[in-house]
Amino acid sequence: MAIHKPVLLKEVIELLEPKSGENFIDCNYGQGGHSKAILEKIKPGGGLLGIDADLDIKNIKDIKDIILIKDNFVNLKAIYEHNFPYPISGILFDLGFSSDQLENSGRGFSFLTDEPLDMRYNPEGQRLTAKEILNKYGEKSLVRIFREFGEIGEKLARKMARATVVRRGRRLFEMTSDLLEVIGAKAVRHKKRIHPATQFFQALRIEVNKELDNLRQTLPQALEILKPGGRLAVISFHSLEDRIVKNYFRGWAREGRVELLTKKPLTTGEEELKSNPRARSAKLRAIKKIDSKECVKNF
């Protein structure tokens, strides 16, 4: 198993300020790096609910004192009500995938190894796979996904969608190498600075897991279940996610419902980047829910 180093751990703890006796929710438990650090601070008496769509709970040994639920955080409010109905002092999101999923899941998250084009976080609970998108979506839908979720220019998105349709007419997509073959040709022609595979893989992963929709739906639930004075922190890894988080947080701040704890997102320092290059694109934003008395004062 690849060890996933928790990103911006010190900053998360500083912003969430966990204290003994408090209850927290980690919506992206992963390998529990952030959860375990929070747990140390809320002991004794505190409780922690960890959620992850991709958990092999039977094989997780060190979860004493943590309630773990395998589910999608889009169901946050229901998960909370059924499993952990206590006043919540802090909620953390650390979006995307872990190093372990990237390197060992065998589900095609990485283009560095040849794996089936799957990309589902939870294969038992989700139906749509990356290969189904490539083999079945209409050309216009492919253009939209590549453009919107891969942040790829219209021209290249259209070329890639065409190449996808032509390729599947000859042979259906199965493995990551099939996709790389199509992207590789385009990458050379367009002389891109970064390997465009990164953006196409991102686009497919977002579509397979409905990542942006899920984030849009879960953030209001998180605000709702936080107790007044409670804190919400979100680590995102690309601008599409960060924009959603920023817009919600600023909107709520304008309405007087939250205080912004980060005016600008926090990013990783040089020291952390040396040991954890994956943290390069991480952005951390946090808010504090204003309690109803302060809220009345503000208006």
Ligand X SMILES: C[S@@+](CC[C@H](N)C(=O)[O-])C[C@H]1O[C@@H](n2cnc3c(N)ncnc32)[C@H](O)[C@@H]1O
Residues at the binding site are 32-34, 52, 73, 94, 101
Q: Which is nearer to ligand X, 164 or 214 (CB)?
A: 214
- The alpha carbon dihedral of 11, 263, 237, 233 has a sign of positive
Of the candidate residues 24, 80, 111, 121, the single one contacting ligand X (CB under 6 A): 121
Question: 262: closest CA among 277, 245, 280, 278?
Answer: 245
Of the candidate residues 23, 72, 89, 276, the single one contacting ligand X (CB under 6 A): 72
Using rule CB under 6 A, residue 97 touches ligand X: yes
Of the candidate residues 8, 11, 31, 252, the single one contacting ligand X (CB under 6 A): 31
Using rule CB under 6 A, residue 38 touches ligand X: no
Of the candidate residues 13, 15, 48, 53, the single one contacting ligand X (CB under 6 A): 53
Candidates 25-33, 57-65, 159-167, 280-288 — which segment interacts with ligand X by CB under 6 A?
A: 25-33
Candidates 49-57, 79-87, 141-149, 174-182 — which segment interacts with ligand X by CB under 6 A?
A: 49-57
H helices present in the chain, as ranges: 9-16, 33-42, 76-83, 99-104, 130-136, 139-150, 154-170, 176-190, 197-209, 211-225, 239-254, 270-275, 292-298
- Least distance in angstroms from the C-beta of 155 to ligand X: 31
Of the candidate residues 8, 22, 25, 33, the single one contacting ligand X (CB under 6 A): 33
Q: Which is nearer to ligand X, 119 or 226 (CB)?
A: 119
- Could you give the CA distance from residue 77 to residue 91 in angstroms, rounded to a whole number? 12
Q: Which is nearer to ligand X, 33 or 182 (CB)?
A: 33
Contact track, ligand X, 213-252, x by CB under 6 A: -x--------------------------------------
Of the candidate residues 90, 96, 108, 150, the single one contacting ligand X (CB under 6 A): 96
Question: 266: closest CA among 8, 26, 13?
Answer: 8
Q: ∠ CA(247), CA(252), CA(257), 5° rounding?
A: 165
Quick count: other Cβ atoms within 10 Å of Cβ 265? 18
Using rule CB under 6 A, residue 39 touches ligand X: no
Neighbour-count burial for 101-140, b at 16+ CB within 10 Å, e otherwise: bbeebebbbbbeeebebbbbbeeeebebbbbebbbebeee
Dihedral, CA of residue 110, residue 114, residue 116 and residue 121, to nearest 10: -20
- Least distance in angstroms from the C-beta of 52 to ligand X: 5
Using rule CB under 6 A, residue 52 touches ligand X: yes
- Could you give the CA distance from residue 25 to residue 69 in angstroms, rounded to a whole number? 11
- Could you give the CA distance from residue 116 to residue 273 in angstroms, rounded to a whole number? 30
Using rule CB under 6 A, residue 11 touches ligand X: no
Using rule CB under 6 A, residue 8 touches ligand X: no
Using rule CB under 6 A, residue 51 touches ligand X: yes
Q: Which is nearer to ligand X, 28 or 199 (CB)?
A: 28
CA distances (Å), origin 101, targets 8, 24, 164, 173: 19, 24, 26, 21
- For ligand X, the binding residues (CB under 6 A) are 4, 6, 28, 30-34, 51-54, 72-74, 94, 96-98, 121, 214
